[in-house]
Chains A and B, each alone.
Chain A
Amino acid sequence: MAFFFNFILAHQGDSADPELLHWIKERRDGIFGPAPLIMVIVMGFVVLAIPISVGVFYLMQANRRAAVEPSVDQGGTERGDAP
């Protein structure tokens, strides 16, 4: 039974494999240096950038469409405002 619990702990997700994590960390440290705070800021920025980019991209598209087609569908929902 202990084996059963231990393997789940060690390998509960593919990417959470301890050896793999160690390998990933070594590679990243080789590129960016080992300072954890810098890595947190860089990776945190990347994670934050994803939803912001999606939102900004949608708004740009919506504004462009609204400028081209000012009154296409009076009753429709696809306007230039937020989704």
Chain B
Amino acid sequence: MIQTPAATKNPIYFGWYVCAASIFIGFVAIGARNSFGVFVVPMSDEFGWNRFTISVAAALGVLVSGLVQPFMGQVFDRTGGRKLILISLVILGGSTIMLSLTFHVLFLVFMFGIVASIAQGGPALSNTAALMSRWFRRKRATAISINSAALSLGGLVMVPFSMYLLQATNWRVAWVGLGLIVLLSLPLAYFFIHERPSQRGLYPDGAPEPPPEAGGGLNEATGPLEVETWKESFKSAPIWQMAASYCVCGATTFILAVHFIPFAIEERGISGSTAATIFGYMMGLNIIGSLGAGILADKIGGTKNWLALVYLMRGMAYILLITVDSVAGLWIFASVAGFSWVATLPLTSSLTADVYGLKALGTISGITFMFHQIGGFGSVLLAGLLFDITGSYTLPFAIVGALLFPAALSAFTIKERKYSTRYQPAVPAPAGGD
């Protein structure tokens, strides 16, 4: 039964609890994954592995998590997501604990590179962004941007926690500790991860009445490009425009994550700690940038305009990075680039939901995420190759930086007013309601 307006007088909409649970799940899942780097030295020391050997597990993990995401998205769309997230968390927590039993590198490769990496795809941000899209319409970008903060928080809190846990105990106990923390998110997920507001007799955003476009029921409004399957979405222009620009996003963030500090030290002549400070400052700003982009897109509208602006800002930052040969230039670059780092995620996810609807959103988001990862790996390899040839990062930074301007144009030319459900005229509600 759908609650009357009086019954929905709950001060806090249940969707925000779903959002909070989703943040915590992302926080521990991403944190457990990113902590792998902390375990490299103690595990290598104990087993006598070299860096290359242990890198196979990490590399395979990155590859598997990128490739598996569209399939996890499809499972999410078909099953609703709740069971997928719960089962994935059990497997992720269990496999993390199992890493404490590592006795051979193949065990590590299998458990971290395959089992944990596949499980990671269940509560991945592309899926939880799709979940947020079901619970929120007017505040969709805001909710996704808050959810995206897990990406930064997971690394900034869980990785140092793993480091201290390792120092206080040993690597086996530390893996068990991390796995238990992942399992700790299970009760929260069980109680608060619900697939749709209608399951709790609510409407998106906690609205007292159904959205007018929905014809009086609990279904989402439909836009002209709303799809039943992901294949249909790739027959239209907006998804290609978003995927192409998201690919450039991956290229321009991965290359910085890998090469910024060496560039700052070797080509700008600053110390390692200053370079790390600037990088840390940039990572801290990405939380503010992500939140700000989501809130602004919901309040003022024009998601594609904000997305274009983010790419344009990042492009300008790259110009500064290449042309201004000073520490001040690096700080200015970090300020501009930091705001734009994660901001593309909530904007792209909410725009995808607004244009293509919710039925295949998990799969579509998983595929665009794969484009992002492909762009990232391509750029990092290109940078390594060009650095070996030219002895400088200037050329690869210039190439990927230049791509940001067509990416901005690609985002700007998305016909959001024509395709987004936010701009569709309200249709009169047929009699009968729900």
Contact = CB atoms under 8 A, between A and B. Distances in A.
Interface of A: 2-26, 28, 36-37, 39-40, 43-44, 46-48, 50-51, 54-55, 58, 61, 65, 68-69, 72-73, 75-78, 82-83
Given A3-B384, A21-B163, 17 more contacts: A4-B384, A7-B380, A13-B30, A15-B159, A16-B36, A16-B37, A17-B261, A24-B156, A25-B163, A39-B160, A39-B164, A40-B164, A55-B191, A73-B7, A76-B1, A76-B3, A83-B191
Leading 4 A-B pairs by shortest Cβ distance: A15-B155, A5-B55, A13-B34, A36-B167
A58 B15 CA distance: 12
Nearest to A50: B24
Given A48-B184, A54-B21, A2 B191 contact: no
A3 B30 CA distance: 24
A3 B388 CA distance: 11
A77 B200 contact: yes
B212 interface: no
Contact of B201 (A6, A44, A78): A78
Interface of B: 1, 3-4, 6-12, 14, 17, 20-21, 24, 27-28, 30, 33-38, 40, 51-52, 54-56, 58-59, 61-62, 152, 154-161, 163-165, 167-168, 181, 184-185, 187-188, 191-192, 194, 199-202, 253, 257-258, 261, 272-273, 275-277, 279-280, 283, 380-381, 384
Nearest to B17: A58
B10 to A, nearest CB: 6
A17 B257 contact: yes
Given A3-B384, A55-B188, A65 B10 contact: yes
A21 B152 CA distance: 13
Contacts of B27: 50
A29 B183 CA distance: 28
Contacts of A77: 199-201
A14 B257 contact: yes
Nearest to B152: A15
A9 B37 contact: yes
Contacts of B6: 69, 72
